Amino acid sequence: MINLELPKKLKFSANQAHQVAAEIFRPISRKYDLGEHEYPVELDTMAAMVEGLGDSGTQDIGGAAGGRSTEEEDKKHATELLGNSNGGNMAALLNALETSWGDVGLMLSIPYQGLGNAAIAAVATDEQLSRFGKVWAAMAITEPSFGSDSAAVTTTAVRDGDEWVLNGEKIFVTAGQRATHIVVWASVDKSLGRAAIKSFVVPSDAPGLSVARLEHKLGIKASDTAVLLLQDCRIPADNILGSPEVNVEKGFAGVMQTFDNTRPLVAGMAVGVGRAALEELRKILEDAGVEIDYDAPAYNQHAAAAEYIRLEADWEAAYLLCLRATWMADNKKPNSLEASMSKAKAGRMGTDVTLKAVELAGATGYSERTLLEKWARDSKILDIFEGTQQIQQLIVARRILGKSSAQLK
């Protein structure tokens, strides 16, 4: 049974992340929104802190190990009361939520906290986790020929002795220029279809890997979004995540397991941005003399107050779905359905809450006097990347109806 009261061991790191968001991210948020592609030098301090905490064993907020437990920890969790544990996934979620409350673009730029780190945590072997546990990894899936259909990967990986040779183009790679490593999805045998798609850890200085350009975007401007070219890019043979064998029966499940870790994290980002907008809106409404009364029916109070309560309830639902999907991951329960539910709900909630906040705040919301308009721009990507709203709903429908991807498109 899920316990929604957060354990004390996670409250400390979540509070620490909130302090980072409040003291570091918020003050520089507008600066890097206006200075797109300018490197946030303030994050160098973050990098040293994250690495130092990791070395001391007190850091439980990121890196590849942030969403992964060791065999010894698994045994320990199995003996805990009621089998209820909160581990790396829950810690990563809470920290994503808190830092996104400060600035989601800067959150996506924190060293060692890339989406590729969650991918490594999902499918890496224990040996690979020891090698890649402290890298900063971006995720490279999308290509010019496809967006949401991850099975349509055309990038290839060919074995050549003790190396893999990768060729292809990847677009919309978050932190693609700044990360030290890139998790690249590629096919090892196109004739075998989606079952042959594997993920590879590619060092940013690997021969044949280059950054073609950086994208100009609507939001999350503090984060670099790159187009990457792989031209006879060579990496060591053991940089393929998980097993190199192609299991046609298992199909695409291996690499898709990555999303079971990352989608609740992205949902958590939307929850963080949504909470920031709600808190700012509440101050504006109260300063304008609008009273928010939780005991009065909607028809008997100010329209803005009634709308605020609706938004807050929607936020709470998204938050609880995030907690459930993440708790299931920590407790080794299949969470593909719940991960997609949390991502769909939180993504939609984030755009609704932030845009309504801009609307209800009037001229103040549309101006740059507050960060409301920025949060509205930032939140849209959280409803798109790691699987769009429509894709999440399609996955939920397949899981509930028991249909395969071929049966329900």
**Rounded CA separation 90/8 (Å):** 12
Closest CA to 105 of 402, 408, 380, 387: 380
The verdict on whether 291 is a catalytic residue reads: no
Which among 98, 143, 373, 386 is annotated as catalytic? 386
Distances in Å between the Cα of 71 and the Cα atoms of 76, 77, 85 are 9, 10, 14
Distances in Å between the Cα of 176 and the Cα atoms of 182, 202, 238, 327 are 7, 11, 22, 29
**Rounded CA separation 358/356 (Å):** 5
User: What angle do helix axes 88-102 and 303-330 make, rounded to 10 degrees?
Assistant: 150
Catalytic residue numbers read 386
